[in-house]
């Protein structure tokens, strides 16, 4: 488990300490990477939700927040999980291929 | 080096035939496979040399990415060629790439420190540009087998990302 992932876990843990508003069970979302591009990021993400990143390429990628709120290494044909960070807009990229970028918006 | 870059730009304008472009008139699938595989292999070797010589952490990370990515694509290529029963055929273009890379490696070997870092990245820009032009203008249009064509197209997307990455790194190193 990497430093960023531990950090993401810690953030998720902290989010659990505050009682979530009724009906705000954390949800799972999927972002697919194919042919050197991040696919669409689902709208209406909430802090504490989970994102599963699926790497369909034959090369290794990462999904890494520019503000360092999440980071996960994605082996070829593999996947990884991160927790949606606190409310706001979070730009992300692949550390190996910095031309691969995306943006996610999280609400409370 | 400058002359090489100029030639590459000039041939980009002409869209194909020129001594430094990698455009055999209409390469066959076995020739295309050999050119693409050779290009990948040469870039793995360049990356390995950079790891022995380069100092800048961003340059070293770039070299590691080149080694990993080009190895992965070439493994995929080998698997596909095996499946198709296609035997890569050495040709003038892949030979040209190889001798060019030999010169570059010798030049890089004579450099140390910052000038070595820069020379490696500058060459990566030129090399990926040259290979991407060949893929776009000759190898992909001439590929007959659909699976080979598709592998080359995926390779092009990857190598274009490499080229942009190298261009960005070069601007940072100045
Ligand atoms: Cu990547």
Give A34 Cα–ligand 1 centroid separation in angstroms: 10
Torsion sign over Cα A45, A47, A49, A55:
positive
Q: Which domain holds residue A88?
A: 28-106
Q: With respect to residue A71, please indicate whether it lies within any of the assigned structural domains.
A: yes
Q: With respect to residue A20, please indicate whether it lies within any of the assigned structural domains.
A: no
| pLDDT at position A24 | 66
Q: With respect to residue A65, please indicate whether it lies within any of the assigned structural domains.
A: yes
pLDDT digits (tens, 9 = 90+) for B126-171: 999 999 999 999 999 999 999 999 999 999 999 999 999 999 999 9
Instruction: With CA atoms as reference, report the closest residue to B104 among B149, B113, B151, B96.
Output: B96
| pLDDT at position A26 | 81
Q: Do A58 and B157 touch (CB under 8 A)?
A: no
User: For residue A53, what is the domain's CATH number?
Assistant: 2.60.40.420
The domain total for chain A is: 1
CA angle B12, A97, A88 (to 5 degrees): 125
Q: With respect to residue A59, please indicate whether it lies within any of the assigned structural domains.
A: yes
Q: With respect to residue A9, please indicate whether it lies within any of the assigned structural domains.
A: no
Q: With respect to residue A13, please indicate whether it lies within any of the assigned structural domains.
A: no
Superfamily of domain B2-14+28-173: Ferritin, core subunit, four-helix bundle (1.20.1260.10)
Residue A6, SS3 per DSSP: helix
ipTM above 0.90, yes or no: no
Cβ neighbours, 10 Å, residue B86: 18
| pLDDT at position B118 | 96
Q: Do A60 and A96 form a contact (C-beta atoms < 8 A)? A: yes
**Chain A environment of B159 (Cβ under 8 Å):** none
pLDDT digits (tens, 9 = 90+) for B38-75: 999 999 999 999 999 999 999 999 999 999 999 999 99
| pLDDT at position B21 | 55
| pLDDT at position A25 | 81
**Chain A environment of B73 (Cβ under 8 Å):** 58-59
Q: Is the pTM of this model over 0.90?
A: no
Determine the distance from the C-alpha atom of residue A78 to the mean position of all C-alpha atoms in its chain, rounded to a whole number: 15
CB-based burial, B11-33: b 16+ in 10 Å, e otherwise: bbeeeeebebbbbbeebebbbbb
pLDDT digits (tens, 9 = 90+) for A62-108: 999 999 999 999 999 999 999 999 999 999 999 999 999 999 999 98
Res. B76: pLDDT tops 50: yes
Q: Do B108 and B116 form a contact (C-beta atoms < 8 A)? A: yes
């Amino acid at each position: 488990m990497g430093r960023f992932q531990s950090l993401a876990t810690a953030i998720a843990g902290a989010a659990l300490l505050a009682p979530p508003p009724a009906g705000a069970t954390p949800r799972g979302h999927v972002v697919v990477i194919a042919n050197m591009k991040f696919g669409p990021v689902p709208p209406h993400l909430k802090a504490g939700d989970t994102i599963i990143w699926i790497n369909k390429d034959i090369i290794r990628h990462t999904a890494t927040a520019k503000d360092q709120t999440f980071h996960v290494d994605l082996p070829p044909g593999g996947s990884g999980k991160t927790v949606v960070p606190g409310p706001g807009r979070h730009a992300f990229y692949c550390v190996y291929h910095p031309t691969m970028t995306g943006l996610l918006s999280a609400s409370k | 080096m400058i002359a090489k870059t100029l030639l590459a730009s000039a041939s980009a304008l002409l869209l194909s035939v020129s001594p430094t472009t990698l455009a055999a008139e209409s390469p066959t699938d076995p020739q295309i496979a050999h050119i693409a595989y050779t290009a990948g292999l040469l870039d793995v070797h360049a990356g390995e040399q950079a790891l022995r010589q380069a100092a800048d952490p961003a340059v070293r990370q770039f070299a590691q990415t080149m080694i990993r990515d080009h190895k992965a694509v070439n493994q995929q290529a080998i698997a596909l060629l095996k499946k198709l029963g296609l035997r890569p055929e050495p040709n003038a273009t892949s030979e040209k790439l190889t001798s060019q890379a030999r010169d570059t490696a010798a030049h890089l070997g004579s450099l140390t420190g910052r000038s070595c870092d820069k020379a490696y990245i500058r060459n990566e820009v030129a090399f990926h540009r040259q290979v991407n032009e060949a893929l776009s203008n000759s190898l992909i249009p001439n590929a007959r087998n659909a699976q080979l064509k598709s592998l080359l197209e995926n390779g092009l997307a990857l190598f274009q990302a490499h080229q942009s990455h190298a261009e960005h790194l070069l601007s940072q190193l100045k």
